[in-house]
Structure formats: C-alpha cells, structure tokens
Amino acid sequence: MEQSRQDQKRIEKARVLDERLDRAERDLTAARDLLMTIEVKLDILEGAAQVLDARTRRMLADQ
C-alpha cells in the first residue's frame, strides 16, 4: 500500500516536471523568436546609423 502511494507521488511529480519542461521549451522558443526579430531590427538600425554618419561626414567635408 505504502509502495503504491509512493509510486503515485513519483508519477505525479514526473507529470508536473514534464509540464514545466514543455512550458520552458515554449518560453525558450518564444524568447529566441523575439531575439531573432530584435537582432534583425538592430542590424537595420546599425546600418542606418552608419549610412547617416557617412552622409553627414561627406556633407561637412564639402562645406
């Protein structure tokens, strides 16, 4: 009887851990997706900053 109760507890604990793992995997995927989008946006911002910097320098040099 005692053995069976302990087995039940272990099964329940494993189920809870499994759910947590699933949630963590989903969170990780969502975080990576977000990171990917942010990195692409940062590329664009960095490119724009460089282009604008070059344009400004050219204008100042021409003056």
Partner 1 sequence: MSLFLSIVLTGRNDDYGGDFRERFFRTLRFNHRELTARGIAHEFVLTEWAPDPARRLLVDFVKETIPDIADEVFTAYIVDPAYQDALTLNPHLKYLEYVAKNVAIRRASGDYILASNCDVYFGRRILDVLAGRALQPRTVYRAVRHDLEMSATPSDWDALEDPGSLDAPPRPLKLPLMLGGTGDFVLLDRETFHELRGFNEVYRLARMGVDANFMLKAFSSGVQIVDIGGPVYHVNHVGSYRVSRDTYAGREHEAPWGNRQWHYHGVVYENPPSWGLRDAPMRALAGGRWRLDFDLHAVPPLVDLRRVVLAVDRVGQPQLRRYKK
Give dist(CA 33, CA 12) in Å, integer.
32
What's the full length of the chain, in residues?
A: 63
Query: Binding to partner 1 by residue 45, rule CB under 8 A?
Result: yes
Looking at residue 59, the DSSP 8-state letter turns out to be H
Q: Which is nearer to partner 1, 11 or 35 (CB)?
A: 35
Output the smallest distance, CB 22 to partner 1, in A: 16
Least distance CB 10 / partner 1 (angstroms) = 32
Residues found near partner 1 in the complex (CB under 8 A): 29, 32-33, 35-37, 39-41, 43-45, 47-48, 50-52, 54
